[in-house]
Amino acid sequence: MNDKITELTNVLLEKNEQLSAAKARTWIELLWSDFESSYARAGYDYKGAAVTEMVIRKWIEGYGHQLHEFANSNEKYKHLLEVDDFEN
């Protein structure tokens, strides 16, 4: 899954030059976990990482260029996107 996260991060970086690599990766991780948890809460059977990847790719295509704007207006994510460095 880490390879898919990295791949999707690179796709997002191509779509949105306003995001640093760290913030783009954080966005992908947030979108991934939010989609899977929302899907589960709705009572759907888990369809696998391929479905999650497909949905996130669609979101990146449609909204990737403006994700940096959303973070500033949403308190749920704002604090997660303030850090600009990966922590190892």
Q: What is the pLDDT of residue 40?
A: 85
Tell me the torsion sign for CA atoms 2, 48, 51, 68. negative
Give the whole-angstrom CA distance, residue 78 versus residue 47. Answer: 29
List the chain domain ranges.
2-81
Give 23-77 pLDDT, tens digit per residue: 899 999 999 999 999 888 888 888 889 999 999 999 999 999 998 787 667 777 7
> From residue 69, how far is each of 77, 78, 81, 88 by CA, in Å?
11, 10, 11, 27
Give 88's pLDDT tier (boundaries 50, 70, 90).
very low
As given in the structure block, the two tokens for residue 84 are 């600009």
Burial class (CB in 10 A: 0-12, 13-18, 19+), 81: buried
Residue pair 19/68 in contact by the 8 Å Cβ criterion: yes
Q: What is the pLDDT of residue 58?
A: 98
Give 11-22 pLDDT, tens digit per residue: 999 999 999 999
Give 78-87 pLDDT, tens digit per residue: 776 666 555 5
Q: What is the pLDDT of residue 3?
A: 94
Residue whose entry in the numeric block shows the structure tokens 């929302």: 38
